Chains A and B, each alone.
Chain A
Amino acid sequence: MIDEPDNQHPRPDTFEANRESDDLNVRDVHGAILREKADPRDGYEPIPLWLVSLFMALVFWGGAYLAFNSGGFESTVFNPSQVSWAGGGAAAKAAPDPKVVGKRLFTANCVACHQATGLGVAGQFPPLVESEWVLTEGWHGDNHLISILLHGLQGPIQVKGATYNGAMPPWKQLKDDQIAAILTYIRSEWGNNESPITAEQVAKIREESAAQTEPYTQAQLQAIPAMEFDDAAAPTEGSAPPAPDAAATAPAPGA
């Protein structure tokens, strides 16, 4: 302790002797005042060098972090990890993976019936795994699959040799890219391996089927010629012939 001896041990007698006045009898006011130490003073120890270095390193880190996470200080960029000064605007437009988006939408909207496994519930909800409806085998086309999602499905249907008689609600409230993402997801998950569906394809079918007001039946769908939006060939236009095998393997009309 470095301190004035006066402050360490108050000496009331000295104080008494020095007191000349007057307006305040300090001892009566309070004993605390007598024993109190002097008001705080400043020491002048230098700031340690290691501390300055540490702070410089922190500031450097701060600059670097901002450079890579500020979205170029654009007011319209919301995801800090999407854009950096280096990446520029191009990286900002990187579209999200439709399978990831599709999985999220599927989990939110479809698992209640079709289950997270895509296997459905025997006798109640048809499976999506290896389903000819999903993989567009036989008379089924990509346009049918999109139509079902847009407008729903009702009445008895045959899936993988079993008959289901339920109702699937329409999902036309979802946007084109959302429907495309869901379909792309179910066509690539659980061992399914079919080409992705794009938002443009969904938009096209939505436009063509605008007149449809209630869920399709299997017979109605079968009456619509199948379309295959294969990535190999250019997308077939509206009046393109049905897929070659569709006519052959689906001779029995639904009704």
Chain B
Amino acid sequence: MSMTSDHPVATPELDRVERARIDESTRIPVLLFFGSAVFWLLVGTLFALLASFKMNAPHFLDQWGWLTFGRVRPAHLNAVAYGWAAPAGIGVALWLMARLCRVPLMHSKLLISAAIFWNIGILLGIFGILSGDGRSIEWLEFPNYASLMLFVAFGLIAVWAVIMFRFRQPGHVYVSQWYLLAAFIWFPWLYSTANILLNFEPIQGGAQGAVNWWYGHNALGLWFTPIGLAAAYYFIPKVLGRPIHSYYLSILGFWSLALFYSWNGMHHLIGGPFPAWMVSASVVASVMMFIPVITTAINHHMTVRGNFHALKWSPTLRFTVFGAMCYTLSSVQGIFMAVPSLNKVTHFTHYTVGHAHLGLYAFFTMIMFGAMYYITPRVVGWEWPSARLIRWHFWLVAIGIGVMVVALTIGGVLQGLALLDPGVTFMASLDYTKPWLLLRSGSGILLTAGHIVFAVSFTLLLLKAGSKRTEPTLFGSDQGRKPEALVP
């Protein structure tokens, strides 16, 4: 930096130059990951719709083995989890890492190679699942040749993250960065351990179930959650221009999450053939999740308090706050689902599916949308072309996910109670779910429409459609309304 010697470091102008330089340096890797994420989001959504329709009409498209439920459903899960959520999260995390380390992104070749490996891995994996090569291990259905690709990609990103952190500008390390660095180190460890123990050198018997759910839950808790929280911790105070409420709460939230989350997976095995202490320890750790969840909720809420009007204008803030609220909601729901007496009703029902979407969609995906609304114009150098598209996107997906979670929750409880009733046959228990599954398909159509709107909006931005503007694209700005405060 040529100017550092002449000027005090903290002048806003200097910050801006520095930030512009950093944003510029992240352009190619971030757009590669964002672009592939949006593509796989559409693919994954298509599989989701297919799988959902098959619940309403079991024989729909079942004449081709490739499109049977047993393949379409894992294809959906893997396309959205590894194809959409992970690359979107990586894109956001790369940009945040560079900004928070306050150095331009280094070694972008590592990241570009990672993005290429990643996409080849997803392509092979989805193809493998559809052709019947998938494995019957939830969250790890990809065949070995695909998961190996993902692991290489992830190794490269983890190495990059450590290098970036090592060469950061000296100074305070902000809470978002703790989460990012932790996630970048946790995930390769989780992914490689689980794949080795389940796919490459499989361990025997019940221990497979334990490893499976240790991984399945940690993929959410130690990978998606920290990235989502890192983004929320950055964008909420950033957009509002306020400090985060309490550093001490941040510390408590981070370390209690790190301590308790990795124990949670065994609560998927309540009632299974596992030593009692394993399951009970997991139940306790799950209930202890109240600590990070309440802590983080208070920290975020107190930061936004008094500024909720900004949700009216800022797309980033509205998506992010929606996601942060759903983090609290889905975590509290998850805690109750780990209590054995309630788990007895909800386990093996659509309730669990609703919970998974509340976590991975209403929390994580919504925060990723919010972050992408902030980051993409900065790395492309162009404002979002249409406020109307953003508005449609928000309402379609917010209503869509709301309806889906409510439908699956009610349907799941009815199904669970019917399954527990010895007087109700299994086939009769399915009847209870039918209307709710139909409603779920309806909500899926809303989500699909929302994703298409987002993809169109994203593509128009990449193409720099419309005229060059320097003012932000805010909700309502196309209707001639003036924001009360300028929020990016």
Taking Cβ atoms with an 8 Å cutoff, the residues of A that contact B are 1-4, 6-9, 14-15, 18-24, 26-27, 29-48, 51, 54-55, 58-59, 61-62, 65-66, 69-80, 82-83
Q: For A18, list chain B residues within 8 Å (CB).
A: 11, 13
B85-93, B150-158, B272-280, B436-444 - interface stretch: B272-280
Q: Are B284 and A37 in contact (CB under 8 A)?
A: no
- Nearest A-chain residue to B250, judged by Cβ: A42
Q: Which of B24, B237, B307 contacts A29 (CB 8 A)?
A: B24
B31 is an interface residue with CB less than 8 A from chain A: no
How far is the CB of B151 from the nearest CB of chain A, in Å? 32
Q: Complex: how many Å from CA A74 to CA B239?
A: 52
Q: For A29, list chain B residues within 8 Å (CB).
A: 20, 23-24, 381
Q: Which of A26, A30, A77 contacts B275 (CB 8 A)?
A: A77
Given the contacts A23-B2, A71-B277, A83-B276, A62 and B288 also touching, CB distance less than 8 Å: yes
Q: Are A34 and B470 in contact (CB under 8 A)?
A: yes
Q: Complex: how many Å from CA A137 to CA B65?
A: 62
Q: Are B298 and A21 in contact (CB under 8 A)?
A: no
Q: For B241, list chain A residues within 8 Å (CB).
A: 1, 3, 7-8, 37-38
- Nearest A-chain residue to B246, judged by Cβ: A45
Q: A29-B20, A31-B472 are in contact. List 15 more A-B contacts (CB 8 A).
A: A1-B242, A1-B485, A18-B11, A30-B377, A30-B378, A31-B469, A32-B488, A33-B20, A42-B246, A42-B250, A44-B247, A44-B248, A62-B288, A70-B276, A77-B277
Q: Complex: how many Å from CA A9 to CA B12?
A: 11
Taking Cβ atoms with an 8 Å cutoff, the residues of B that contact A are 2-3, 6, 11-13, 15-17, 19-21, 23-24, 99-100, 172, 174-176, 233-234, 237-250, 252, 273-277, 279-281, 283-285, 287-288, 290-291, 294-295, 298, 302-303, 307, 340, 377-378, 381, 383, 469-472, 485-486, 488
Q: Are A62 and B245 in contact (CB under 8 A)?
A: no
- Nearest A-chain residue to B379, judged by Cβ: A30
Q: For B233, list chain A residues within 8 Å (CB).
A: 40
How far is the CB of B430 from the nearest CB of chain A, in Å? 21
Q: Are B276 and A71 in contact (CB under 8 A)?
A: yes
Q: Are B244 and A62 in contact (CB under 8 A)?
A: no
Q: Complex: how many Å from CA A78 to CA B3?
A: 67
Q: Complex: how many Å from CA A55 to CA B248?
A: 15
Q: For B285, list chain A residues within 8 Å (CB).
A: 62
Q: Complex: how many Å from CA A2 to CA B17?
A: 24
How far is the CB of A31 from the nearest CB of chain B, in Å? 3
Given the contacts A42-B174, A61-B287, A62-B284, A51 and B295 also touching, CB distance less than 8 Å: yes
Q: Are B244 and A70 in contact (CB under 8 A)?
A: no
Q: Are B2 and A22 in contact (CB under 8 A)?
A: yes
Q: For B242, list chain A residues within 8 Å (CB).
A: 1-3
Given the contacts A30-B377, A62-B288, A71-B277, A40 and B243 also touching, CB distance less than 8 Å: yes
Q: Are A39 and B245 in contact (CB under 8 A)?
A: no
Q: Are B280 and A75 in contact (CB under 8 A)?
A: no
19 residue pairs bridging A and B, Cβ less than 8 Å apart: A1-B240, A1-B241, A3-B241, A8-B241, A9-B486, A32-B378, A35-B471, A37-B239, A37-B241, A38-B241, A40-B234, A40-B243, A41-B244, A43-B245, A48-B298, A65-B280, A65-B284, A70-B280, A78-B276
Q: Are A35 and B488 in contact (CB under 8 A)?
A: yes
Given the contacts A3-B241, A24-B20, A46 and B248 also touching, CB distance less than 8 Å: yes
Q: For B15, list chain A residues within 8 Å (CB).
A: 38-39
Q: For B13, list chain A residues within 8 Å (CB).
A: 14-15, 18-19
Tell me which of B20, B99, B172, B295 has the highest count of chain A C-beta atoms within 10 A of its own C-beta. Answer: B20
- Nearest A-chain residue to B290, judged by Cβ: A58
Q: Are A39 and B99 in contact (CB under 8 A)?
A: yes
Q: For B247, list chain A residues within 8 Å (CB).
A: 42-44
How far is the CB of B7 from the nearest CB of chain A, in Å? 8
Q: Are A43 and B383 in contact (CB under 8 A)?
A: no
Q: Are B23 and A80 in contact (CB under 8 A)?
A: no
Shortest Cβ-Cβ A-B pairs, 10 listed: A31-B470, A71-B276, A37-B241, A40-B237, A80-B276, A42-B247, A45-B246, A43-B243, A69-B280, A70-B277
- Nearest A-chain residue to B276, judged by Cβ: A71
How far is the CB of A198 from the nearest CB of chain B, in Å? 28
How far is the CB of B100 from the nearest CB of chain A, in Å? 8
Q: Which of B3, B23, B295 contacts A33 (CB 8 A)?
A: B23
Q: Are A41 and B248 in contact (CB under 8 A)?
A: no
Q: For A44, list chain B residues within 8 Å (CB).
A: 246-248
How far is the CB of A173 from the nearest CB of chain B, in Å? 23
Q: Are A47 and B16 in contact (CB under 8 A)?
A: no
Q: Are A51 and B298 in contact (CB under 8 A)?
A: yes
- Nearest B-chain residue to A23, judged by Cβ: B2
